[in-house]
Structure 1
Amino acid sequence: MRNTTGSLRARFREHPRACDAALAVALAVAAVPCAYVTPLFGAAPPREPDALSLTLIVAGCLSAALRGGRPFLALTLVCLAQIAPAMTGRSTSLLWLVTLVLVYSIAAHRGLAVSLGAPALGLAAHLASAALGGRLGDVRAHLPVAVLIAAAWIVGRNVRLRRAYQAELGDRARRMERAREADRRAARAEERSRIARELHDVVAHHVSVMTVQASAARRVLAADPGRAGEALSAIEELGRTAMTEMRSMVGVLRTDAAPAERTPQPGVAEIPALVDQMSEAGLRTRLCVEGEPGTLSPGVDLAAYRLVQEALTNSLRHAGPRARAWVTLRHGPGELTVRVEDDGRGPATRDPGAGPDIDPDAEPGGHGLTGIRERVALYGGILRIGPRPGGGFEVNARFPLKDRR
């Protein structure tokens, strides 16, 4: 039963003009026999209808077919058809019902100011036809017609407001869906950017250290095979570490697989091991920790580690064979300061007079220090990258710490 009702409503919505025409024909067919019946509202029975009055009644009923496109024109025609038979004292049959239908249609499809003219015109036509036909009598006898016209207008206005409300709900749902889709796209883009930064940090660091170790092994291979073997062992260990970290990050993208167990991300606690690794790779590095270490948020913890890793990797690649590096971690009240300095020559492409924001990761496609800037900015920190006053290069970042315990 519900499916049948729904299909009928769908057909009515698809063919509104046909429905209006069918309604008009039904009213016209019913109006002819009703013209011989005493009207519901009137003071005296009407005269026998003639051909002219029947034609006007049928024409007035058929004008209801215009209610979907030009309802005011249809209402005007009905009012004229209602007045003409009344002048000769003949019945207006069902034209009052057609008036109610058109008043409802105007109220349901037109604005408030325009729709207010419909009940006024319908009531005026009824009173005029009653007065011309000598059936005016007591005005209170025509009060039911006024009530019906007002009720038709109120129902039409309620239907219009309900449609507007439903349209607003639909539009709001579409806007919310577009906003959710935009949020999903932004989240995916942010996640891709995060994974790209992590992959760059892991690959750039380990590959750079492996390159230095391989170069050292090549130089001492003939003279000192033992040291060359140690360098090759270090390269093997670094390669395995890099592959493990890359698998853990790329595994996040495999949504069709079962969620894998996540390994902890590196943080400030792993910086001493990183310093030892860089020292073994040939960059003499010293770590200095000032203040009492406290609890850091996972994001700041990872950002500090990646900053030190990227800065030391750049020092290893650009500072020169005899360069030294210093890593300073200062735990202060409400902030964490991370400073990485070296006394090397820096990248060959660096212009000494270019100012404090020189990026040593200057090879084509380099994104290391750009990623560091994004990390520091993400947590509201302040970053300075540039040459040291006494020579060398410096990366200095301050992270504000919130809700630190």
Structure 2
Amino acid sequence: MWCASVLFTLLTTFRLPGEMMPAQWPAAQLYRWDGLVFLLLSTAMAIQGGRLLHRRPLLATALTILAAVFETITLGVAGLPMAQYLATMVALYFVAATHPRRTALIALAMAVGTLIAYIAIRMLHNWIVSTSAELAVALVTVIVWLLGSSAHQSRVHAERLSAEHADRAVTAERLRIAREMHDTVAHSIGIIALQAGAASRVATAHPEAAMTAMRAVENEGRQTLAGLRRMLVALRAADAGQDPELAPAGLADVDRMAATTTAAGVRVEVRRLGEARRLPPDIDLSAFRIIQESVTNVVRHAGTRACRVTLDYRDDELALEITDDGLGRGSSSDTGFGLAGMRERVALLHGEFTAAPRPEGGFRVTARLPLPVAVR
């Protein structure tokens, strides 16, 4: 942008085809050594300002403003031209769109204040002032800032909606799991209590009957544990018609979830390795929930704009990896419900789970879920 504005300014000092005279008479120093020095200095400041936009936005904005002022000195004009201020406007849009509102307001004050100061200094010296042209530059500058601020508000709103949707989904999931656990566990525990009571009453007089009752207790306990491991997916399927949003999810929904998150501002890259195949409902649901919770953590805590999801279908297990290049918050000993819930899901399936910051920056979540022999 800076190079284009400089080239445009230089072209205006020549008589182009169809013109009687140049659109702008050049100052004497424009083509002298001192003019070239100012041109090189202003170009260096504009380039450095572009490099610092991410880390130090206010300093970057100040450098682009100074570059415009230094370049204007060699033109001998009555105000800061629109072309010389284009780089500042682009920097101002970026600051307003990607940084907090306070920082954006300071950058706007710097940009508009420079225009006012430039006119005031020329008026104090009784020099010619192009007030109308400077008003146009100031108006365009404010409009550019408003566009950047609108983009920032839209992104913040989308992130807020995404976080609220994730919170509602987590709450609904917990309520559903609690209800399903109550329905199954209450029945099973009631049977176990009756069998255990019967065994205690006949343990002395009828040991064979007591053994039969205890075997029934053992069998019922095993069935209950199997039901808990599968998170009662069968009940989810039965209730799917009552509430579509709470229908059983699985790895087939990963792409849809990735698209929704990407639309909200955090790009999710999904990569699949190996041969995809149908998995048992408990593994399919748990794998999806681990990915969903990990991506939610990236959106809410990582402070990054992208993450990567890898699904590796191996011969005897399903391996998941979710990585990002963000702030790396959290640790393998984190006591938050997100990591604890993922760890519990993997433990129920006799898998392996890790969650820790990456040495190169960011955070990594991995899970290995063993597959039944029938699936292998």
Same fold (TM over 0.5): no
Q: TM-score range by the shorter chain?
A: 0.3 to 0.5
Larger Rg: 1
